[in-house]
Structure 1
Amino acid sequence: MSTRVLTGITTTGTPHLGNYVGAIRPAIAASREAGVESFFFLADYHALIKCDDPARIERSRLEIAAAWLAAGLDPQRVTFYRQSDIPEIPELTWLLTCVTAKGQMNRAHAYKAAADANVAAGEDLDAGITMGLYSYPILMAADILMFNAHRVPVGRDQIQHIEMARDVAQRFNHLFGAGRELFVLPQAEVEEDVATLPGLDGRKMSKSYDNTIPLFDGGAKALREAVARIVTDSRLPGEPKEPEDTALVTIFDAFADAAERAAFRDALRAGLAWGDAKQRLVEQIERSVAPMRERYETLIAHPERIEETLQAGAAKARAIARPLLDELRHAVGLRRMQPIATVAPDAKAAAKATAAALAQFKQYREADGRFHFKLVGADGEVLIQSVGLAEGREAGRWVQQLRSGEAGALDTAPIERGERYDRAAALAAIEAIAAELARQQAAKG
């Protein structure tokens, strides 16, 4: 069973060298792992929260899509799409909005930071805060839950959003699942070892610091000019230089193997001039970047090829999203018109009381991709807990056998039988369920 991993790509700005080393390169490498089903999307709805310049949004989507494809993202192996090409996502966002507590949104980091800044400035609490910013975590939850992703690689600042997605998914499952787990509960995959490149001034490479080295923009000339501006110390040619903890060497390391790193350090300690060192750095980067830049420039010159790739990716994504959304619409009552069976008030109340008194089977899928089922008593106690199963159909088959009271099913079922397992209590609950099913069938017959 494959594990679904979902990665959102912000569509503001132009990719730089730090983006490539810290995000693009490792994400593409991870997408090639066996047993991984990867989803990559351009988060252009999210971009509208931060940017109101249509030309910038349009240009950034093109440049970022071209950058990821040029860097080796394989659209045949992964599902690569634009968020805005999947109409099921905003519809799911509304379904989730209807079960999300406002108090939970009040505690979202981005909203709290903006509100606190307003208070500190003596402004109204919500001055300048849009509903896009306020509801951002719900849209992010829809991005993740739409494809029932098991793992979502994020930085520590995004962990809260994954926890919110889990909370909303659990609430939706409880309200509308009728014993089924409609949503997988996603796990945050915190990227502790993300490579962080220093910028021209030694601080973290970031557009906000205006210290970036372009990945493709401006070509080889822009790369050389940026590297030439990397801050170094005042040691002259011929003087030994300490390579450790210098921005220039750290950037070199990101594009070199162990032998090349050692040779570069030896040369600096032997007196290599900083100007020559920068030239070596340019040549080292160019060995990796130049072939990608050529592919990037071809893609930028032919945006229709990128469009075709994204439309194909959207078709793959919607083939998954549409059936799930249809199931969710049915679950919440947005169904085709049909006769509604009427039940006498007393009988309806009795049926509700009977259902409340019965234990319930629940099926769900864990983050490792394994399927489980459990029997939960009316008091919330877990009477039966299955082991992990390879297929959902297998879990469903066992639930059907147990619900029907099939002879011997309890003793052959793939369940945990530890100290807390009470066979008598589990059997009594199953017999009650089977009896109620038999009563309902008899009433219909």
Structure 2
Amino acid sequence: MQTRVLTGITTTGTPHLGNYVGAIRPAIAASQRAEVDAFYFMADYHALIKSDDPARIERSRLEIAATWLAAGLDPERVTFYRQSDIPEIPELTWFLTCVTAKGLLNRAHAYKAAVDKNIAEGEDADAGITAGLYMYPVLMAADILAFNAHQVPVGRDQIQHIEMARDIAQRFNHIYGRDFFVLPEALIEDQVATLPGLDGRKMSKSYDNTIPLFAAGAKGMREAIMRIVTDSRMPGEPKDPDSSALFTIFRAFASEAESQAFRTALIDGIGWGEAKQVLCERIEADVAPMRARYDALMAKPAQIEAALQEGARKARAIARPLVAELRDAIGLRSGAAVAVATPAAAATPKSDKPPRFASFRDADGRFRFRLFSGDGDELLLSQPFEDPKAAGVVQKRLRSLGGAAAVVQTSTAGTMLELDGAAVAQLQLGSGEGAADEALARLRQALDQLAAQD
């Protein structure tokens, strides 16, 4: 069984070397493991909380997408999308908002820190604090719960947001009587590398001490490396590798043997200028091929857009059925579904024919079945099975499933009923607006009738 892991990237800046080593590189490596179902999204709704500069956000979205793709993220293997391309996320945010206690949001670290800062400066407690900042934890919960992610990699400062997502999910599940949501777990990234910046502090846009990854080209990277602060020891004087930002950065890119050689050179008195040149060449060996891919992608933004739109399609194939199920659960089912279900329930006496299965054999010799409603409408067409016993096992499962437990996913293959994460049958949809909602409502009704017979 795969573990679904979800990571968000806020689109408010240009990626730097620290982002690559601390987040991008390990995330891409994790996505290549067979047991991981990786979701990576650009959190551009979250960016609106931090920036009101449209040009900055637009540029950042493009640069960050190009960076991840150039660094080796495989959009065929993972689900890579923009948050703002998934309309189910803001809809789910509202559903979750309506069950989230205000007291929970009052305890959010970011909100409390902003309030404390205002009070310390003699301002009104909520001065300058937007509802976006206050509601940030609910939007983050929707990001996670829309795809029922099992794990969310975060630093320790973000653990509270995962705990809040769990609290919100549990409350929704309790109110509406079903486990609609998986309770996500924080995947603590204690081992993530943190690079020093130009001034020795943590490399961060906040300190303006970053080394650009791709955007400034090879020349810009070299110029930044040459500005890294060092001590006053002259060429020939031994340097302490363990207190040197150059060695820390070098080690993040080099093999053990290369790192040992650089350590020895520092102890033996290599000049700082020469050491910076060695560092620049080592980083450039890794970064140059990626930069070439980055430049090619930035020259063809349509290629990036196509990858993101395909990612959005894959993401919505999961989020759309879940949100449709939630709408049904909270009383917002479509009028078409209600119009079909209500008269049928009122007009159908208990003595009417129950739903039934019809098994048959395909022309290629494989076994299938159909599920018909009591009035003869086809509701499901099963996948083909090599063994008639396997088809019978699925039928038996469906007889006791019940409508509330039906999991339906929409993809290019159609609208499919799933058992244990595997598609077992295709819903037979009518035509017109609301056809999928109507078909799902009729299927749930039939499954409820079958379960009542057992």
After superposition, the C-alpha distances for 1:87-116 in whole angstroms (9 at most, x for unaligned) are 000000000000001111111111111111
Report the equivalent of 1:291: 289
Question: Is 1:251 aligned with 2:249?
Answer: yes
Report the equivalent of 1:12: 12
- Structure 1 residue aligned with 2:259, among 258, 261, 269? 261
Higher relative contact order at CA 8 Å, sep ≥6: structure 1 or structure 2?
Answer: 1
Deviation at 1:84, TM superposition (A): 0.1
Report the equivalent of 2:146: 146
Deviation at 1:243, TM superposition (A): 1.4
After superposition, the C-alpha distances for 1:144-191 in whole angstroms (9 at most, x for unaligned) are 0000000000111111111111011111111113xx311000000110
SS in 1 for 2:242: coil
Deviation at 1:240, TM superposition (A): 2.0
SS in 1 for 2:15: coil
After superposition, the C-alpha distances for 1:305-341 in whole angstroms (9 at most, x for unaligned) are 1001000000000011111111110011111333387
After superposition, the C-alpha distances for 1:349-383 in whole angstroms (9 at most, x for unaligned) are xxxxxxxxxxxxxxxxxxxxxxxxxxxxxxxxxxx
After superposition, the C-alpha distances for 1:244-298 in whole angstroms (9 at most, x for unaligned) are 2210100000110000001111112222111111000000000000000000111
What amino acid sits opposite 1:199 in the alignment? G
Report the equivalent of 1:158: 158
Report the equivalent of 2:81: 81
Matches within 5 A, 1:366-445: 397=397, 400=400
Report the equivalent of 1:22: 22
Report the equivalent of 1:345: none
Matches within 5 A, 1:306-317: 306-317=304-315
What amino acid sits opposite 1:245 in the alignment? S
Cα distance, 1:260–1:28 mapped onto 2, change above 3 Å: same
Q: How far apart, in 2, do the equivalents of 1:398 and 1:85 lie?
A: 34
Matches within 5 A, 1:189-268: 189-268=187-266
Q: How far apart, in 1, do the equivalents of 2:7 and 2:216 lie?
A: 27
Give 5+ residue unaligned stretches, structure 2.
347-392, 402-447
Q: Could you tell which deviates more after superposition, 72-81 or 225-234?
A: 225-234
SS in 2 for 1:244: helix
SS in 2 for 1:67: helix
Q: How far apart, in 2, do the equivalents of 1:130 and 1:307 lie?
A: 31
SS in 2 for 1:240: coil
Report the equivalent of 1:364: none
Report the equivalent of 2:66: 66
Q: How far apart, in 1, do the equivalents of 2:135 and 2:452 lie?
A: 46
Number of equivalences: 354
Q: How far apart, in 1, do the equivalents of 2:241 and 2:165 lie?
A: 44
Give the TM-score taking structure 2 as reference length: 0.75
After superposition, the C-alpha distances for 1:101-153 in whole angstroms (9 at most, x for unaligned) are 11111111111111111111221121111110010000000000000000000
Report the equivalent of 2:415: none
Cα distance, 1:441–1:205 mapped onto 2, change above 3 Å: closer
Report the equivalent of 1:52: 52
Moved beyond 3 Å, runs of 4+: 396-401
Report the equivalent of 1:325: 323
Give the TM-score taking structure 1 as reference length: 0.76
What amino acid sits opposite 2:245 in the alignment? A
Q: How far apart, in 2, do the equivalents of 1:190 and 1:271 lie?
A: 39
Q: How far apart, in 2, do the equivalents of 1:293 and 1:58 lie?
A: 20
Give 5+ residue unaligned stretches, structure 1.
343-392, 402-436
Q: Could you tell which deviates more after superposition, 314-323 or 233-242?
A: 233-242
Q: How far apart, in 1, do the equivalents of 2:266 and 2:182 lie?
A: 53
Q: How far apart, in 2, do the equivalents of 1:251 and 1:167 lie?
A: 39
What amino acid sits opposite 2:156 in the alignment? R
Q: How far apart, in 2, do the equivalents of 1:233 and 1:90 lie?
A: 51
SS in 2 for 1:39: strand
Report the equivalent of 2:384: none
SS in 2 for 1:125: coil
SS in 2 for 1:183: coil
SS in 2 for 1:23: helix
What amino acid sits opposite 1:327 in the alignment? E
SS in 1 for 2:39: strand
Question: Is 1:95 aligned with 2:111?
Answer: no
Question: Is 1:274 aligned with 2:245?
Answer: no
Cα distance, 1:267–1:322 mapped onto 2, change above 3 Å: same
Report the equivalent of 1:111: 111
What amino acid sits opposite 1:138 in the alignment? V
What amino acid sits opposite 1:10 in the alignment? T
Q: Could you tell which deviates more after superposition, 329-338 or 49-58?
A: 329-338
What amino acid sits opposite 1:286 in the alignment? E
Q: How far apart, in 2, do the equivalents of 1:397 and 1:170 lie?
A: 27
What amino acid sits opposite 1:81 in the alignment? Y
